[in-house]
Amino acid sequence: MIATRTLSVQSFTGFVPPGPGAVSSLFPGIAPHSRLVDLRLPTISKGIYKLGVLNAKHSSTPPRAVAIDSNELGFSQSADEVKPMKYHFLVANAKFMLDEEEHFKELLFERLRNYGERNKEQDFWLVIEPKFLDQFTNITNRLRRPAVALVSTNDRWITFSGHYPKADFEAITGWQRWGRSFSIMFMKLRLDRVLAGSYEAGTVEEALASSNVDLQFEKPEKWAAPYPKYEFGWWEPFLPPLSSKSQA
Amino acid sequence: MTAAAAAAAAAAAMELAVAKSINPIAKFGRSTPKAGCGAMRPLLRARASAATAEAAPPARGKGKKEIKETLLTPRFYTTDFEEMEQLFNKEINQSLNQSEFDALLNEFKTDYNQTHFVRSSEFKEAADKIQGPLRQIFVEFLERSCTAEFSGFLLYKELGRRLKKTNPVVAEIFSLMSRDEARHAGFLNKGLSDFNFALDLGFLTKARKYTFFKPKFIFYATYLSEKIGYWRYITIYRHLKENPKYQLYPIFKYFENWCQDENRHGDFFSALLKAQPQFLNDWKAKLWSRFFCLSVYVTMYLNDCQRTAFYEGIGLNTKEFDMHVIIETNRTTARIFPAVLDVENPEFKRKLERMVEINKKLIAVGESDENSVVKNLKRIPLAAALASELLAAYLMPPVESGSVDFAEFEPQLVY
């Protein structure tokens, strides 16, 4: 079964080149999402291993056309098939995510505390050097490595997209869909200097697979704060539970 | 802390920077609430002055001490609500990125701190142990913080009410932020009761003078004040976590969760600014951005340097604390404002230092026994010196900045 992979990178390639167009996009009257690239690329939901085959098969197909095809397939899938899950992510280099942006740590722990208080199952993870990035060359070529992604999923999004007629669904950009999805968009607003996208995967293990890397952060040259940095490794509670297995 | 704290700062510095008259500078005098006696806290009674030109509100009750309202006192704010309605009217402004607001609303509805502000018996015991001059300083800290939070409550509450029809989502966010501010103010007011004081917030609402800011200035000022509030609170929290012997009063233990609210409020103003790109994308926006940064940073620095006893009392070096907060706030602000100040340039700190020295002399003149004509004459050169330092700081080469959503400034950005 083919499903869509939506890539919405908020990037400079999304800007109209300097000129009247670029300026006008900053003014009211032009939808903000018109600044976004919204590519729809083909992928396979039930196993990234099939990706190469599919990419070869559709290499000459315009992405948008494929997306519509895949949606049709997606909507008509039979009940016994595993429903692919949609994952949204933000990604930046590891130093930014884990070392520099200390408020990010506070936000994640706050969320974890909240989930605990309300008996909510954790649906967000930090993935170090995620394997899914291999699919996103337009992200990886502007990303310092090692990279760290915040990945999240929620059921509400699935319900939401299912309710939409296909035509409307196509017209909605990634950003607007993320508005419905838990907090990825909020996190983007907070962190700002991150790239964002989404993908589908059949299993959690596959979705959150990561490559084994040793993280090392140089100590800041001057540390003027009247307190020490958060301890190295604070992110461990947010690593996927099966990460050791998938790293093997 | 809240909208008010830094917006107050901005207003104060604005009046200063413009240097319309030397009188406002005269009001730089430290507000010295001579607290004590265990009597009810005097309710704020603003003195009519050149700076607060409107009629003074009536004094309430007899025998209650009054607090001098100075330029650096947290203020109450009001704005052009009709212009606000226009700005957030979806029919007029169809480009509003509603989804960003939906995401924020979701965050605010989650209400992370719903059960956070619960007091323990520790509070009263700790307060009783704080004696001597530090006690008075603590009371002043609680009072100013409470006023600042409450000021945010009033402004957000009104915006929530006024925007209900034109933009229910933005309106609801304002209402939920006013929920947070009310909680914070209430918690601080209970803290005051540990010291046998209380602020009559109902009276404050009616009695205080309200400062008018156009919507765009509300956005810049409240963004900065929320973010600087976050950095102040989290810095105090993390410092005390590392140095528990200075943990004199349990309220600081609540700061970690508390200041996440401030940070989120700041994010909302960031989204509001993004929804109004005309406030971010031209040379005027850059000048205003720098102006508000300078106002807020300078006001905090001068304010805190008059209250070093408080920061030293909790084991902080006031100036190092302030510089850390300024640098971090400036870095955060560079994610949205189109220009910020080069606060990491050592020259910026040198300028702040000179302002502190001039301000000290101004205070000394104010406290001297000379007659007012002589005082004013003595103030003229000092006020001019302060204004020129401010202007020089304002004109230092800025740092171009902004959200990557609008980033033209760094076309080859690598993440």
Q: At the topology level of CATH, where does B70-280 sit?
A: Ferritin (1.20.1260)
| Residue segments in chain B with a per-residue pLDDT below the cut of 50 | 1-67, 71, 409
Write the pLDDT tens digit of every residue in B170-221: 999 999 999 999 999 999 999 999 999 999 898 889 888 898 999 999 999 9
Cross-chain Cβ contact B95/A228 below 8 Å: no
Q: Please indicate if any CB of chain B lies within 8 Å of the CB of A178.
A: yes
- The predicted pLDDT at position B206 comes to 87
* Helix-strand-coil split of chain B, %, nearest 5: 65, 5, 35
- The predicted pLDDT at position B240 comes to 98
Q: How far does B29 lie from chain A, in Å, by closest CA?
A: 29
Residue bearing the bigger pLDDT, A79 or B410: B410
Write the pLDDT tens digit of every residue in A101-146: 999 999 999 999 999 999 988 889 999 999 999 999 888 988 999 9
Task: Please state, in angstroms and rounded to a whole number, the distance separating the CA atoms of residues B276 and A28.
Answer: 7
Beta strands in B7-153 (DSSP E): 76-79
Residue bearing the bigger pLDDT, A154 or B165: B165
Q: Which residues of A touch B112 (CB under 8 A)?
A: 110-111, 113-114
Domain-by-domain residue ranges, chain B? 70-280
Task: Please state, in angstroms and rounded to a whole number, the distance separating the CA atoms of residues B64 and B82.
Answer: 39
Q: How confident is the model at residue A69 (pLDDT cuts 50, 70, 90)?
A: very low
Q: Which residue in B has a C-alpha nearest to residue A10's C-alpha?
A: B405
- The predicted pLDDT at position B279 comes to 92
Over chain A, what is the mean pLDDT?
66
**What are the DSSP calls for B302-344, one per residue?**
HHHHT-HHHHHHTT--HHHHHHHHHHHHHHHHTTTSSEE--TT
- The predicted pLDDT at position A138 comes to 85
Q: Which residue in B has a C-alpha nearest to residue A176's C-alpha?
A: B99
Task: Please state, in angstroms and rounded to a whole number, the distance separating the CA atoms of residues B125 and B409.
Answer: 54
Task: Please state, in angstroms and rounded to a whole number, the distance separating the CA atoms of residues B347 and B351.
Answer: 6
**Residue A243, pLDDT above cutoff 60:** no
Give yes or no for a cis peptide into A146 (omega within 30° of 0): yes
- Of B256, B260, B254, the closest CA to residue B187 belongs to B254
- The predicted pLDDT at position B70 comes to 52
pTM above 0.80?
no
**Residue A203, pLDDT above cutoff 90:** no
Interface predicted TM-score (ipTM) of this complex, two decimals: 0.82
For domain A85-213, is the CATH number 3.30.70.1860?
A: yes
Tokens coding B89: 């009217």
Task: Identify the residue among B95, B233, B269, B280 best suited for mutation to test binding to A, counting A beta carbons within 10 A and taking the highest.
Answer: B95
Beta strands in chain A (DSSP E): 2-7, 39-44, 85-93, 124-128, 147-152, 195-201
- The predicted pLDDT at position A241 comes to 82
With beta carbons less than 8 A apart as the criterion, state whether B126 and B249 touch.
Answer: yes
- Of B49, B47, B16, the closest CA to residue B379 belongs to B16
A6 backbone dihedrals φ, ψ, rounded to 5°: -105, 130
Tokens coding A125: 């993870």
- The predicted pLDDT at position A70 comes to 37
Q: Which of A29, A193, A195 faces B95 most closely, judged by CB atoms?
A: A29
